[in-house]
Each structure stands twice: as C-alpha cells, then as structure tokens.
C-alpha cells in the first residue's frame, strides 16, 4: 500500500518558552500526521500547549518561544527550513489559521472587502483589482454572507458573521492546511453549529486538512475523525473519535474527561470531576505528568515517563495500558 503524503507531518516536535524560571517545555516531543480532507481534533485544557503547537506549525512563535526539537512539514516542506521570502509566500497560500479571538482578528478600521483584497493581492501579484473583487464576492457566498456586507466594517457584523469572514479569509488562497484555534468558543451554540456545518461543507469541496484546536471535548469528538488529547505538552492519546463514545480502553486522562462531561441524551446522568488541578508547566510532576491526578498511578508512574503503546489506530502513553487487553489495568 502506497502511503499518501500527509498534509501536515509533525515529528518529535518540542517547543519551549524562555522564562524567568528557565526553559519551560510547552510542547514536548509530539508526532502527528494529518491527511487531506480530514479533520483532526486537538483537545487540551488551558496551558496544555495546544495553541502553542498551532502557532509553532504556522511558524508564528513569539520571541521567547522556540522550536527546540523536531520537524514540522506541511505538504512535505519543512516549515523551519524556509527563508523569510519563501515562508511569506508559503504561509496563507499553503497553510492558514483561524485564530482564537476571531472576533477581534479583523482590522476595525478597514472594510471587509479591503481585508479580503489585501490577502488576495499580496499573494497574487498579477491579479487585477477587478478579479480580486469578484473573488471576494465568491468567498462571501461560500461562507453564506450577503456580498453587500463587503462594504461593512467589522463592528457592523454579528459575532457569527465576523467568524465567517475570518474563515473566508483563511481559505481565500485555497490552502492545503487550515489550523483552527478555538474558532467558535465565544459564540452561541446555534451559531457554533451553523459555522461548523459550514466548515464541513466547504471542506467537502476544497479538500483541505483541518487541525481543530479546542477544549470542548464533546464538540471535537463529534467533528473530527481523529483526536489527539494533549496534557502538559504531550499527546497522551491519539485515537479515532468514534472510540471516545466509550470510557473504556483509553488513557486515564481521557477516561477522566469522558466521565467529567454531562451527556445530553444518556439515560443516567452522573458526572465525576478529575481531582487536582492542571499541572504547572514550570514545575511539572516527575514521570508521567498526569500521575498526581490519576486514580491508577503506581510507583513507576512517579519515576519513569511512559512510552507510547500503539494498538490498531490508537496511541496511548501510559505504563498501565495493557496492549493485549486494550485497556488500562490497575496493577
């Protein structure tokens, strides 16, 4: 079987922040592949490193953060081997990003049209203004906004419409990879659903790959086909989203999350929180970073960081994961 080239390939990626307390590992040795026309979800709590990873892929890390190890390839090209000019061309035409605060990602003093034209014209040197305007109308139609709003300023649009504009700008150059960092977090559920349905529809046509970053477990497991669960900078589990319907057979943290979320339709409603608090990256627990909150943890978890076990389509980073029984076993 000939393997297709992944749109995004992360290999042993580590990102560290240079802080007063020394180097802080925000992303720690993660690997992942995403293929075209798929949505991969990245779930994590605040401080788990999920947004840092998103920024690292775009090579948008701020001064104090650096890629300390590993390679990031988009469409087979190493993002960190490009010179400035190459990167400028590559970014947005091959990979784009929908930012967390998309509500504020637009420039308040420019019309929507000006902002879309800016993206189009700076990448297509030969495109005429007229062509660009026609393309802008087309983009607005793709995201279901009346093109008359091209003349509007961001504050004249509702939050949901602004978000659609941001998505239109992200797909303006037909990128192969779109990173979406909590794109619907600030929106009402109905608006959220309508935007997600829209994204799925556009993806069917354009076939780009999506890395969907979110803290919303139920949302991501519904939307994505594959899900990476991040804890303290590491992927503790990468699994197909179907499997998340059951609590069994997962990493203890994933299990904990599944138990912590009230389900809408299940007959029995009981939930159970995960004890303790998310870890402080400056002072990470030894061994497996989840051990202080893990109900299964033993002596080994405190000392030694677990290796990744691969079973079928699942990768789990836990000492107690029994490959034969496909579940976490308390020893």
Partner 1 sequence: MKEAASKESATLVEVEDLVIKFPVRGNKKNRFITPVDKVSLKIKKGEALALVGESGSGKTTIGRALVRLLKPTDGKILVDGEEINDYKGKSLAKYRQVAQMIFQDPFGSLNPVKTIESHVKFPLKKHQGFKGQELDQKITDLLVQVGLTPVNEIRKKYPHELSGGQRQRLAIARALAVNPQFIVADEPTSMLDVSIRAGILQLMNDLKQELDLSYLYITHDLASARYFGDRIMVLYGGKVMEIAESKELIKHPLNPYTQLLLSATPGSESQINLKDMTNEPPDLGEGRKGCPFVHRCPLASNECKEKMPALEEVSNGHFVACYHYDKEKIVF
Least separation in angstroms between CB 140 and partner 1: 13
Q: How far is the CB of 272 from partner 1 (least distance, A)?
A: 6
Q: Tell me how far CA of residue 192 lies from CA of 200, 215, 296, in angstroms.
A: 12, 14, 36
Q: Smallest gap, in angstroms, from Cβ of residue 274 to partner 1?
A: 4
- Please give the Cα distance from 140 to 128 (Å, whole number): 18
Chain positions 96 to 155 lying near partner 1, rule: CB under 8 A, are 144
Interacting residues with partner 1 between 177 and 236 (CB under 8 A): 188-194, 197-198, 200-201, 215-219, 222
Give the nearest distance from C-beta 188 to partner 1 in angstroms: 4
Q: What distance in Å separates the CA atoms of residue 166 and residue 188, rounded to the nearest whole number?
A: 17
CA 308 to chain centre: 21
- Decide: residue 50, CB within 10 A, 0-12 exposed, 13-18 middle, 19+ buried: buried
d(CA 174, CA 135): 12
Is residue 257 close enough to count as binding partner 1 by CB under 8 A?
Answer: yes
What's the full length of the chain, in residues? 331
- Residue in 20, 46, 148, 312 binding partner 1, rule: CB under 8 A: 46
Whichever of 131 and 141 has its CB closer to partner 1, that residue is 141
Stretch that binds partner 1, among 78-86, 105-113, 166-174, 263-271 (CB under 8 A): 263-271
At 309, phi and psi to the nearest 5? -95, 135
Token look-up 């495109």 returns: 127
Of 249 and 252, nearer to partner 1 (C-beta) is: 252
Contact 124, 136 (CB under 8 A): no
Q: Tell the smallest beta-carbon distance from residue 155 to partner 1 (Å).
A: 15
Number of residues that bind partner 1 (CB under 8 A): 39
Residue closer to partner 1, measured from CB, 267 or 324: 267
Cα-based angle 95, 39, 154 (whole degrees, multiple of 5): 60
Per CB under 8 A, the list member of 1, 3, 109, 269 interacting with partner 1 is: 269
Cα 164 from Cα 139, distance rounded (Å): 10
Q: For binding to partner 1 (CB under 8 A), which residues are involved?
A: 45-46, 144, 158, 160, 188-194, 197-198, 200-201, 215-219, 222, 256-257, 259-265, 269, 271-275, 277-278
């Amino acid at each position: 079987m000939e393997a297709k080239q992944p749109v995004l390939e992360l290999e042993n990626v580590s990102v560290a922040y240079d802080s007063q307390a020394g180097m802080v590992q925000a992303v720690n040795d993660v690997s992942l592949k995403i293929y075209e026309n798929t949505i991969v979800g990245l779930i994590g709590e605040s401080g788990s490193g999920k947004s840092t990873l998103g920024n690292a892929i775009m090579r948008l890390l701020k001064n104090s953060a650096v890629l300390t190890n590993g390679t990031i390839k988009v469409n087979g090209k190493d993002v960190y081997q490009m010179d400035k000019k190459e990167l400028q061309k590559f970014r947005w035409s091959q990979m784009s990003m929908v930012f967390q605060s998309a509500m504020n990602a637009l420039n308040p003093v420019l019309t929507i049209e000006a902002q879309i034209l800016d993206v189009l014209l700076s990448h297509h040197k030969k495109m005429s203004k007229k062509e660009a305007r026609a393309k802008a109308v087309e983009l607005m139609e793709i995201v279901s906004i009346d093109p008359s709003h091209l003349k509007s300023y961001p504050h004249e649009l509702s939050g949901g419409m602004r978000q659609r504009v941001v998505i239109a700008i992200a797909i303006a150059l037909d990128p192969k990879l779109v990173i979406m960092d909590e794109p619907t977090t600030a929106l009402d559920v109905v608006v959220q659903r309508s935007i997600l349905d829209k994204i799925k529809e556009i993806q069917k046509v354009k076939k780009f790959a999506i890395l969907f970053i979110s803290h919303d477990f139920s949302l991501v497991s519904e939307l994505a086909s594959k899900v990476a669960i991040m804890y303290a900078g590491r992927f503790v589990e990468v699994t197909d989203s179907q499997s998340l319907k059951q609590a069994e057979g997962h990493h203890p943290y994933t299990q904990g999350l599944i138990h912590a979320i009230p389900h809408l339709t299940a007959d029995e409603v009981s939930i159970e929180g995960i004890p303790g608090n998310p870890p402080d990256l400056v002072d990470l627990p030894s061994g497996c970073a989840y051990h202080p909150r893990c109900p299964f943890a033993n002596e080994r978890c405190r000392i030694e960081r677990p290796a990744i076990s691969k079973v079928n389509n699942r990768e789990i980073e836990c000492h107690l994961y029994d490959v034969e029984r496909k579940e976490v076993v308390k020893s």
